[in-house]
Amino acid sequence: MTFTVQATERETRARCGRLETRHGVIETPVFMPVGTAGTVKTLTPDELQMLGVEIILGNAYHLYLRPGHKLIAEMGGLHRFISWDRPILTDSGGYQVFSLAELCKVTDEGAAFQSHLDGSFHFFSPESVIEIQEALGADIIMALDECLPYPSSPEATRAALDRTLQWARRCRQSRTRPDQILFGIIQGGFYPELRQEATLRMIEIGFEGYALGGLSVGETQPMMLEVVDQVVPLLPEDRPRYLMGVGMPEDLLECVIRGMDMFDCVIPTRHARTGWLFTSFGRVVIKNAQYAKDETPLDAACGCYTCRRFSRAYLRHLFMAQEILGLRLNTIHNLHYYLRLMEQIRLAIREGRLMEFRNEFYRMRSEIERAHP
């Protein structure tokens, strides 16, 4: 791995970087579409490449349960299995173990859980999670962590912090593939002293990158930003910083300003399938009756395939008729919006005008909200 910071902002902690992996280069700040089970829902790999996606995210928990990491390894690894020749990041599956499993028992040895698919019993240890991700062959892999819900007591948060650090050491010791980039995940909940301790102790262990976990669990945006503000100044400048599971466009912008480099979230793809579309002037809920005869494009300022070819009326018709094409067109648009937003943010950082961009970003939304409350 080579990570190079190429531009920084004087007024903020924002930065542009270049992360080199064995399957290609990633320009940061970057948004990573979520392909949980080896697919970004409704889109083909070629469509993702045409949108400009540089890296996608897969999930070790889901791929372990179905079709199985050993089968994927026999098929030549995850890249070949899903026909994707650009970088892949796999999450360790820790969050899914704690959020999806029917039953879950955590000890210092690992997490025993019952599959949400068929009720079968399984066990994840730090060593097995690394083994799974090495078999998948992702470019970036994650250490196993214990993710708590919000709110959690200081005592529970302390226990999860210590366990996550112990697991991180075991993950680092058990890895065998030097061609993969291993990230440690910083926990500590919403207790500043615990977040600080977790960050410093994780840095002592030593990883190629650092992820901020335990967010997007029900907290408010100000709470999330406070945690980012606490952690970023402690992180090494020469390592990529990954904010897991975040988020809305406003979240991405605010966290880039605070120094984060990498983001993933299901929001753009999941919202596309529920008819919530992101535009330069705010959201559009395409099922609303006001669009039934609207011949204009979804967003006149957008150059995506959906906006170039189809009207709001047609998109509404597809959604109301539950046509698969509607889900595909919505997903193309939402991902284009997110990728274009990150491109604009990178350009603003390089030109030293990120705060101007931020002001314009919010101004456009407030004007529309005043006009259409």
Give the pLDDT score at 103.
Answer: 85
Confidence of residue 187 (pLDDT cuts 50, 70, 90): very high
Give the pLDDT score at 373.
Answer: 41
Non-local (6+) Cβ contacts of 129 within 8 A are 60, 92, 93, 94, 143, 144, 171
Instruction: Name the catalytic one among 145, 251, 264, 299.
Output: 264
Q: What is the mean pLDDT of residues 185-196?
A: 98
What is the C-alpha separation between 235 and 35, in angstroms, rounded?
A: 28
Confidence of residue 370 (pLDDT cuts 50, 70, 90): low
pLDDT digits (tens, 9 = 90+) for 225-257: 999 999 999 999 999 999 999 999 999 999 999
Confidence of residue 369 (pLDDT cuts 50, 70, 90): low
Confidence of residue 365 (pLDDT cuts 50, 70, 90): confident
Find, among 126, 128, 121, 76, the residue nearest to 101 by Cα. 121
Give the pLDDT score at 99.
Answer: 86
| CATH class, 2-265 region | alpha beta
Q: Is residue 91 among the annotated active site residues?
A: yes
What is the C-alpha separation between 325 and 186, in angstroms, rounded?
A: 40
The answer to whether 269 and 34 have CB atoms below 8 angstroms apart is: yes
pLDDT digits (tens, 9 = 90+) for 98-153: 888 778 999 999 999 999 999 999 999 999 999 999 999 999 999 999 999 899 99
Confidence of residue 169 (pLDDT cuts 50, 70, 90): very high
Give the pLDDT score at 368.
Answer: 61
Q: What is the mean pLDDT of residues 317-321?
A: 98
What is the C-alpha separation between 211 and 140, in angstroms, rounded?
A: 11
Measured in whole angstroms, the distance separating CA 333 from the mean position of its chain's CA atoms is: 18
Is residue 350 over pLDDT 80? yes
pLDDT digits (tens, 9 = 90+) for 252-303: 999 999 999 999 999 999 999 999 999 999 999 999 999 999 999 999 999 9
User: Which part of the chain has CATH 3.20.20.105?
Assistant: 2-265
Give the pLDDT score at 1.
Answer: 83
Is residue 372 over pLDDT 60? no
Instruction: Name the catalytic one among 91, 139, 251, 299.
Output: 91
Q: Is residue 85 among the annotated active site residues?
A: no
The answer to whether 219 and 190 have CB atoms below 8 angstroms apart is: yes
What is the C-alpha separation between 293 and 302, in angstroms, rounded?
A: 20
Strands (E), the chain: 2-8, 15-21, 24-28, 30-32, 56-59, 88-91, 104-107, 110-114, 121-124, 140-142, 181-186, 209-212, 241-243, 262-264, 276-279, 282-285
Give the pLDDT score at 100.
Answer: 84
Mean pLDDT, all residues of the chain: 96
The answer to whether 344 and 301 have CB atoms below 8 angstroms apart is: no
> How far, CA to CA in Å, does 284 sit from each of 291, 316, 359, 368?
10, 11, 21, 11
pLDDT digits (tens, 9 = 90+) for 58-73: 999 999 999 999 999 9
